[in-house]
Structure 1
């Protein structure tokens, strides 16, 4: 099963909300850091094409703050309730759930050469809207080969500010660059490092969506 939802009821709800299972893993009985009784954790994210248009048609797109997070809480929270699961989100902290470690555990997401997460299908455009902690042991998308092993790594030299490199992410330097006219392309089309990834280029994420998130990051 390749990146498909493991439960028929979940598959229907994800399709209706333009979401998909980006990866998952089995949770050992009594394992710390998860709700009691969790057997499987599934990480959910946008499914393109179509996610951004769908999101903008929802009641949360009302001009109030945090529409994406509010939509995620409502939709993924409802899915969790319908399945008797628990919804866990990457926002709302501190404390925050260890999404970085969870993503690596799926075998479908890796630490890229620039330290950002890279996904088997979405590349450096990967984003997580929430997770489902299921009480059932269910199938998950299988591990994949790390794409960076055979990639020329254009991400390493793509940042015009030198803020994202193999040494990590210099956030203040990034913000400083975005404050200047030279940063306009990053703000309007999304991070050039994320866009440089070959997998990102084959993923149908709209520049409008990237621009929105860059604006939220740099406000």
Structure 2
């Protein structure tokens, strides 16, 4: 089974590549299949902290080893790997009008579970165009408290709103991310709620 098939089995895919030297491949959810796979895992059910990070470590370390790569993760630091820079280096991920990363196909729902470093040159995924210039950019006005703008991200204001009675709509997923028309069908509400709970400190 090749790398792409192994990732597909786990609801994952290569979201972009770049020369490192060798090849670096950024791995993330492929769509709803990812959430179904994760929620059927022992990590999701065991009640221990950081279930998604532990699942990612187990699954992606094994896949990397079988394919002659080293798995690197966006958690577990310091030191922290420069995933934002790596993402932009793929030519398929861009800075959005609200300073979040946006993927050519996954929109503002793009996320990374690992990077795989291959020491040989592999087939690369070609760059794409940013979806933002041709978009009406509803993300700019979607945040009820203006926490996400071109000037930056006001994290305290965001968290305070989510925890408030007025923030109930945000607890099932960031309204800014959900406003993006690109990849809008690739994230299930339960998955978004899980990430929001982790973000405000209820788990991870």
Q: Which runs of 4+ in 1 moved over 2 A?
A: none
Aligned to 1:209: 191
CA distance in 2, matches of 1:126, 1:41: 17
CA contact (8 A) 1:41 1:134 kept: yes
CA distance in 1, matches of 2:24, 2:135: 29
Aligned to 1:34: none
CA distance in 2, matches of 1:128, 1:193: 18
Cα shift readout 1:95-121 (whole Å, capped 9, x = no counterpart): 110000000000000000000000011
CA contact (8 A) 2:159 2:200 kept: yes
| TM-score, reference length from structure 2 | 0.95
CA RMSD of aligned residues (A): 1.0
Cα shift readout 1:73-112 (whole Å, capped 9, x = no counterpart): 0111001111221100000011110000000000000000
Aligned to 1:66: 50
Structure 1 unaligned segments of length 5 or more: list them: 1-7, 29-38
| TM-score, reference length from structure 1 | 0.89
SS of 1:139's partner is coil
Pairing 1:43-62 to 2, within 5 Å after superposition = 43-61=26-44, 62=46
Residue from 9, 23, 31 that aligns with 1:16: 9
